[in-house]
Chains A and B, each alone.
Chain A
Amino acid sequence: MNLSMPLAFFAGSVCIAGVMMIARRRILQVLLLVAYFSLLGALLIHEFTFLDVVEAEYLKADPLAVLFLGVLAIVGSLAAYYGMAYAKHRGDNDRQVATHNAALVLFLTMVVGVYISRHIGLVWAFLEASTLTSAILIYYNRNKHSVEATWKYVFVCSIGIAIAFAGILFLSIASEAREVHDLSFEAIRITAPTMNAGWLKFAFLFMVTGFSVKMGVAPLFNVDIDAKDGAPSHVAALLSSVLMIAGFVAIFRVYMALAGTSILPWMNSVLIIVGLMSVFFAAIYISKIKNVKRILAYSSLEHAGIVLIAVGSGAWFAAVLHVILHAFAKSSLFFQYAHFFRLYQSKNVNSVGDYIKLHPAGAGVLILGLLAITAVPPMGTFITELFMFQALFSGPHAWVAFPLFLLVAVILWGLTKNVLSILYRPAPSAIHPAAPFSVMETVPQYALLLAVVYLGFFAPPAFVQFVQSAVTFHP
């Protein structure tokens, strides 16, 4: 078997994106998207077969990467499908659609790069490239909102990623002092215990700050909220799922590389503080605001925070599973949001209502989605949050569980209040009673939510084992 499959994937993706810009007819676009996702599927199968094999010197797919590649293939292909539906419904011109699809392909490819890189510099480069390509996706509508969102997002991401680069340089100061010139995660893991702890702390702090903007956690989360608000909903779904995972991968890999050193307890404290801050901000805003899209975005902030708290409290398994389940749940909700907006032409909770009568299938997604993002059984997020609280209680940061519990309760209240209002409040009279939605359009959304139940409560042992192996050290 040819071992440069990832390189073939990168080259193929760039070619497909290039052809997309020229062959703008809708049917060709669909064919090209199918070609791209077939290529992605081939890469996934290849990486699953050649687990932990170093390819092209700097690439290696460990179980963590393969898991996330799977999520990316599922959510990415659905986002492409809903993107085409969105364009068709709005009657966007071929050029706009072609640019969007090409950017989508490149964006997903760059995120794949983040997942499978084994060199910290390359992770950085792919993350920055994902910012640049996502800018085109966020810019899609070309109106004031999208321009503002794109500008803020690109600018703050660039600053953030520059700060992260300074972190990488601090790390290399520490490794140079030990005569180590290799910044691959494996090499760092081996030599880190002998490095100067002060530099490592600096490095970790800078990298977490910088990558926080990609994962969408405190301190640099504001632009993520704006980006999700200004972007089309299927793009917001991608930002909340595959891109959040990309940020998580960057932070988690650095964390794991340094986990063998004396600064582990300190790193845990940093992650728990960052996570708690994120949940705090999410709680404040969710209980206050009325913009449905931003509420969903703030809920992503909450879950990203929970994931970091899980990492910091040692529940690595729960962290990885939670970030996956959240990706499914939140993208399902963002896909549903497209229907919501098409029906009401408004984002404001106060000017909508009666969703359960106007679009029953969509209302079902909303209810199940609410259960998923508030971690209510039978949703798998319940299990992962339970594991997280368990680990928190048995660790040195048990006190965090109390404010966290309170904040999660506030979020539960805020989300439920708003969703109930959308479902049952009398609708303004201007809304057409018969909504032109086919039930088929909601099937993928239900499938994603079913996956959240399945992977949490009925996960096959092989899957559990695979996730387990993703969070253990690899030689």
Chain B
Amino acid sequence: MVTILIILFVVTLVYVSMVDRLATFVTILGIQGVLLFGIAYMELRDVDALNLSFILAETLVFKGIVIPWFLRRTLRKNKLVKEAEPTVTHFTSLLFVTAIILVSFLLAYTVHEEHLRIGYFTASLSALFTGLFIIMARTKIITHVMGYLLLENGIFLLSLAVGNEMPLAVNTAILLDLLTSVLLLAFLVDKVGESFQTVDASELNELND
């Protein structure tokens, strides 16, 4: 069952490479949040209740609901519909992401570490690199935020793959930071839109040497 969820997660990455409409991208991020919830729930059923509820809140509530809602609001406010001119075509993106997944898979197979599960490791590395790829290949800064969220999801999976539980105090701090950083980034997208009348990263060149 966990394997199915992980495969679904990887499929969403492939889908992300082809979407054009930003709203769809947000929906996918929401779906990923729910998938991560499922994976974390099955994986961590035996950890103590407080830690478990904590992780569930992080995935289902924040990644699944709060962040997508906030991103939608930002999209509406800035009247953003599509990634206007993707510098990389959909087909190339698809090729890239597929290659990323393949390489991650091979990488995961070559490291021999009994404590590490290959499925998780593949999915997490794929998400990490897909996030970085999206940030580099797309022009709108809101898409950059979404790429960052993909990267974050990858790191969340990696932390499941490792299985090392951070102490609760540390976990709380990390979760708070992540949530605030996403809200702050979305807020800044608004501000950039107001000041520059555009949210193209290439237009952000007021500061130079």
Contacts and interface: CB of A to CB of B under 8 A. Distances in A.
17 contacts: A57-B167, A57-B169, A122-B170, A147-B188, A147-B195, A148-B196, A148-B207, A158-B148, A158-B185, A159-B132, A165-B155, A169-B159, A169-B162, A172-B164, A177-B115, A183-B164, A288-B209
Contacts of B207: 145, 148-149, 152, 226, 229-230
What's the interface size class on A, roughly? Answer: 35 or more
A143 B188 CA distance: 12
A92 interface: no
Nearest to B173: A125
Contacts of A175: 164
Contacts of B181: 128, 131-132, 154, 158
Contact of A291 (B163, B177, B209): B209
Contacts of A86: none
Interface in A112-138: 119, 121-122, 124-126, 128-129, 131-132, 135
B115 A148 contact: no
A173 B191 contact: no
A91 to B, nearest CB: 22
Interface in A169-207: 169, 172-173, 175-177, 181, 183, 196, 199
B144 A155 contact: yes
Contacts of A147: 188, 191-192, 195-196
A119 B167 contact: yes
B209 A294 contact: yes
Given A144-B206, A148-B192, A122 B173 contact: yes
Contact of A159 (B135, B176, B192): B135
B167 A151 contact: no
A148 B195 CA distance: 9
Given A152-B204, A155-B185, A162 B148 contact: yes
A177 B204 contact: no
A333 to B, nearest CB: 19
Nearest to A113: B173
Contacts of B85: none
A289 interface: yes
Which one of A148, A149, A183 has the greatest number of beta carbons of chain B within 10 Å? Answer: A148
Contacts of B115: 173, 176-177
A150 B188 contact: yes
Contacts of A128: 174, 177-178, 181
4 pairs of A and B residues whose beta carbons are closest in the complex: A125-B173, A172-B164, A121-B170, A128-B177
B85 to A, nearest CB: 20
A230 B192 CA distance: 14
Interface residues of B, number: 44
Nearest to A175: B164
Nearest to B152: A162
A139 to B, nearest CB: 8
Contacts of B116: 173
A166 B135 contact: no
Contacts of A149: 207
Given A148-B206, A151-B188, 18 more contacts: A125-B173, A125-B174, A129-B176, A129-B180, A132-B181, A147-B196, A148-B195, A150-B188, A151-B189, A151-B192, A154-B184, A155-B188, A165-B155, A169-B159, A183-B164, A183-B166, A199-B113, A291-B209
Contacts of A58: 167, 169-170
A150 B188 CA distance: 8
Nearest to A165: B155
A285 interface: yes
B155 A289 contact: no
Contacts of B165: 181
A285 B165 CA distance: 44
A169 B169 contact: no
A125 B135 CA distance: 23
**Residue from the set A125, A126, A159 with the largest chain B CB neighbour count within 10 Å:** A125
A294 B207 CA distance: 10
Given A129-B173, A166-B158, A121 B167 contact: yes
A152 to B, nearest CB: 7
Contacts of A122: 169-170, 173
A131 B184 CA distance: 11
Interface string B181-202: 1001100110110011000000
User: Quick one: which of A119, A173, A288 has the most chain B CB within 10 A?
Assistant: A173
Nearest to A149: B207
A227 to B, nearest CB: 9
B188 A126 contact: no
A57 B141 CA distance: 40
A255 B167 CA distance: 22
Which of B114, B135, B152, B188 has the most chain A CB atoms inside 10 A of its CB? B188
Interface in B26-68: none
Nearest to B193: A147
Q: Which of B170, B191, B192 is most buried by chain A, counting CB atoms within 10 A of its CB?
A: B170
B113 A125 contact: no
Given A58-B167, A125-B177, A128-B177, A145 B206 contact: yes
A169 B116 CA distance: 11
